[in-house]
Amino acid sequence: MVKYFLTRFLQFLIVVFLSVTLVFIIVRMMPSDPVEKTIAQITSTGTFLDPSDVEKMIKSLREMYGLEGSILSQYFQTWRRLITLNFGPSLSFFPTPVSSIIKESVFWTVGLLGVVILVSWTIGNILGVIAGYYSKKLPTAMKLLDLIFMIIRPIPYYILAFIFLVLFSYLIPAFPSQGAYSVGMMPGFNLSFIIDVLKHATLPALSMILLQTTMWFQSMKIISTGVTNEDFVIYAKYGGISNHKIIFRYVFRNALLPQVTSLSLSLGRIFGGALITEIVFSYPGLGGTLYSAIMSSDYNLIIGIVLFSIVAVSLGTLVLDFIYPLFDPRIRYS
């Protein structure tokens, strides 16, 4: 057990180390000087700047980007910023620090993603285990579901979200097209605000839930078809044990193990999907914020969000891995 936790924790540290290094390298490869780019951007908006002010600004910007000093000290600088969660000020919302922008948006992303994962994983797995158990003679309704899921499954997040947006916001204006709540609404714990938030979250959540449900459904179907052919399931059938008991106590509980592993491995992908979906619906989570940062070339914010995402996803994976032994007695008792 202890061995298992230690291994996973080590893995977590390695992932964070490697990916932060990767991000550092990518940022270093920026073809144009980000400082000059920023200055150019500011001057292009027509703001007049005194040449000496520009000089000062360049110096402070270089410090902020960690471009001062040797490569090695720049690299350590990146780590220091990550550990202290101090990514410097945002350029587009100057002088708000990047960390407080992230803090605000992460709430929306975590909320949306949490609901989506919980709902889609549950529905997908339950439908999947039934389809897998009866795969030899699938009921017609299941066959239809299987077909529909097979068609939806390969569609990328952006396209599906976009189709939802066009269908349910423009053609049939049933849901708002952007934001997390209506402009002018005062955030607070009251019914009208909550309804408003739910209304705004419906389309992004639905499009993600639909895609992920198909994903969990398909893999659960394949896994539980396999488990259904295992000796212990066949033997339980021989014992006359009722189908629903076999499905949930025998097939489901065993097929769940790879699905938990799979969830922890797919967390990165699911998170990526959420970013993209948020961009489509201009949802003010990390994705939406990232998009506006891209649009305004706010590199500080971009790097901050990317680094934060990597650590957050790795942490999520770590937590899931830590929960895993609850499902598998073979690890619990080794």
Partner 1 sequence: MKMLIYFRDLMSDKRFSFGFTVIIILTVLALISVMSPYSPVRWNVVPEEKPPSLKYLMGTTSLGQDLFWIVCFSIKNSLIFALTTAFLSRVLAIVAGMISGFEGGIVDRSIMILSDSLISLPRVPVLILVGAIFREGLNLYILALVMASLSWAWDARVIRSQILSLRERDFTLTAILSGSKSLSVVFKEYFPHILPIVFASTLNNMLWAIGIETTLSILGLTNPLIPTLGTTLHWALSYQALFLGVWWWVFFPVTVLILLFISVYLLSVSISEYLDPRMRIQRIGQAR
Partner 2 sequence: MPLLEVRNLTKIFTIGNVFSRKKVIAVDNISFDVEESEIFTIAGESGCGKTTTAKIILGFEEATSGEIVYKGKRIDHIHHRERRELLKEMQAVFQNPFSTFNPLRKVDRYFYETLYNLGIADTKEKADEIIKEKLAAVGISFEEFVEKYPNEFSGGQLQRISIARALLTNPSILIADEPVSMVDASLRMSIVNLFKDLKDKYGVSVVYITHDLTTAYYISDRIAIMFRGSIVEIGPAEKVLMEPRHPYTQLLKESVPEPDPNRKWNTRINLSETEQSEYLRQGCKFSGRCPKAMEICKRESPPYFDVGGVKVKCFLYKD
Partner 3 sequence: MMSVEVLRTENLKSYYILDIFGKKKVIKAVEDVSISIKENEIYGIAGESGCGKSTLLKAMFAAVEPPQRIIGGKVIYRDNGKEYDVYHISEEERKKFRWHFISYVPQGSMSVLNPVMKIKEIFKDFIETHTKGKTKEEIYEIAESHIRDLGLPSGILDAYPHQLSGGMRQRITIALATVLSPKVVIADEPTTALDVVTQRGVIQLLKDIQALKRNTIIIVTHDMGVHANMADRIAIMYAGRIIEEASTEEIFENPLHPYTRYLIYSIPKFGDKKKRESAPGAPPSLSNPPSGCSFHPRCPFAFEKCREEVPPLKEYKVGHKVACWRVEEGENATA
**Which residues of the chain form contacts with partner 2 (CB under 8 A)?**
2-3, 6-7
For the CB of residue 232, give the shortest distance to partner 3 in the complex, in Å: 5
From the list 157, 153, 177, the residue with the least C-alpha distance to 165 is 177
One of 235, 265, 269, 326 touching partner 3 (CB under 8 A)? 235
Alpha carbon distance 156, 270 (integer Å): 11
From the list 194, 185, 187, 175, the residue with the least C-alpha distance to 104 is 187
One of 145, 253, 272, 297 touching partner 3 (CB under 8 A)? 253
- List Cα–Cα distances, 3 to 6, 9, 14, 262, in angstroms: 5, 10, 17, 21
Alpha carbon distance 86, 81 (integer Å): 5
Q: Is 19 in the site for partner 1 (CB under 8 A)?
A: yes
For the CB of residue 2, give the shortest distance to partner 2 in the complex, in Å: 8
For the segment 142-161, give every residue that binds partner 1 (CB under 8 A): 150-151, 153-159
For the CB of residue 103, give the shortest distance to partner 2 in the complex, in Å: 36
The CA-to-CA distance between both ends of the chain, in Å, stands at: 7
CA geometry: angle 43, 26, 12, nearest 5 deg:
130
Are 246 and 236 a contacting pair, CB within 8 Å? yes
User: How many residues belong to the site for partner 1 (CB under 8 A)?
Assistant: 50
Q: Is 4 in the site for partner 3 (CB under 8 A)?
A: no
Q: Is 259 in the site for partner 3 (CB under 8 A)?
A: no
Residue 236 interacting partner from partner 2, partner 3, partner 1, none (CB closer than 5 to 8 Å by kind): partner 3
Residue 48 interacting partner from partner 1, partner 3, partner 2, none (CB closer than 5 to 8 Å by kind): none
Tokens of 198: 């739910």
One of 81, 130, 290, 324 touching partner 1 (CB under 8 A)? 290
Tokens of 230: 């295992």
Q: Is 26 in the site for partner 1 (CB under 8 A)?
A: yes
Q: Is 138 in the site for partner 3 (CB under 8 A)?
A: no
Q: Among residues 209 and 301, whose Cβ is nearest to partner 1?
A: 301
Are 260 and 327 a contacting pair, CB within 8 Å? yes
For the segment 292-331, give every residue that binds partner 3 (CB under 8 A): 327-330
Binding site for partner 3 (CB under 8 A): 136, 230-232, 234-242, 245, 249-250, 253-254, 257, 327-330, 333
Contacts to partner 1 by CB under 8 A = 11, 14-15, 18-19, 22-23, 26-27, 29-31, 150-151, 153-159, 162-163, 166, 170, 264-265, 267-269, 271-273, 275-276, 279, 290-291, 294, 297, 299, 302-303, 305-306, 309-310, 313-314, 317
